[in-house]
Amino acid sequence: MPSTQQRRRPKNLNLFTIRLPVNAIISIMHRMSGMVLFLILPAMLWALHQSVASEISYLALAGLLNHWLPKTVLVVLSWAFFHHFYAGLRHLAMDVHWMKSLPKARFSSRLVLCLDVLSVTLLAAMIW
Amino acid sequence: MMIELLTKKYPGMRLWLAQRLSAVVMAVYLLVFALLLIVKQPAGYEAWMNLMSPWWWRLFTLLFFVSLVMHAWLGIRDVFKDYIFNPGLRAIFQLLVDVLLMIYLGWTIVILWSM
């Protein structure tokens, strides 16, 4: 049985009091987007299969995607791809000791976020 | 020193390198794919097939998916090792992912073969 003293020990597990630095945000988002991409892989393969199997399945897929709901889903999921892509390139750059100092790493993290937003917006503009 | 790191003494280094090399292969494939899409602007089924079906492009696509399976296997494995503490449970999840990835690779070969 723990004493009262022990039970009253302060905890700092309130996640709202912990502010992640931008590099940490990029890193955890890289991991999460990787999981998302793994989970949507069967849908991607299915779409690829439909697009090349026959002209009928190609047109059926095109018809299915030509609707605001699948387009929105695609744009949201494209964020996972673009983030994983750009953050991955950033990791590769750091593996060869490029942009490794803290100020440069912060700069490249912000650059990744900007490229994410830009790419997702561009994709949305292109398919609408 | 690089060669020393890739010997049996440091097995993790090979996995680390495999993760990076597969990433580079996928990045190159995607850049070439994006360029092809911009240059050719395929509209309709026939143009799409002209883009996708040359044997060298199908081979490159297969290489892309082999890299993807390798990359995903290593990445998911790291995530499981970090968050699933029960070894038995982790083994079950890992087996599930292994089977899924093998199915996806088989599916890719079917897609590319039947083009």
- Prediction ipTM score: 0.91
- Taking CB atoms and an 8 Å limit, are B45 and A58 in contact across chains? yes
- Taking CB atoms and an 8 Å limit, are B53 and A55 in contact across chains? no
Under 8 Å between Cβ of B82 and B34: no
Task: Determine the structural domain holding residue A56 and report its residue range.
Answer: 21-127
Q: What is the pLDDT of residues A57-75, one digit of tens each?
A: 999 999 999 999 999 999 9
Q: Answer yes or no: is pLDDT of B90 > 90.
A: yes
The pair of three-digit structure tokens given for residue B59, joined into one six-digit string: 């081979």
Which CATH number do you get for residue A74?
1.20.1300.10
How many CA atoms lie less than 13 Å away from A122 in the CB half-sphere? 7
Domain locations along chain B:
2-29+55-113
Share of chain B above pLDDT 70, in %: 98
| Strand positions, DSSP E, chain A | none
Q: What is the pLDDT of residues A16-32, one digit of tens each?
A: 777 889 999 999 999 99
Question: Could you tell me which CATH class the domain B2-29+55-113 is placed in?
Answer: mainly alpha
pTM for the whole thing?
Answer: 0.89
Under 8 Å between Cβ of B23 and A92: yes
Determine the average pLDDT of the residues in A97-126.
94
- Taking CB atoms and an 8 Å limit, are B45 and A85 in contact across chains? no
User: In whole angstroms, what is the distance from residue B107 CA to residue A37 CA?
Assistant: 17
In a domain, A36, yes or no: yes
Closest chain A residue to B68 measured between Cα atoms?
A38
Name the domain count of chain A: 1
Q: What is the pLDDT of residues B20-54, one digit of tens each?
A: 999 999 999 999 999 999 999 999 999 999 999 99
Q: Select the residue of A38, A58, A89 nearest B76 (Cβ to Cβ).
A: A38
Chain B residues close to A55, C-beta within 8 Å: 45
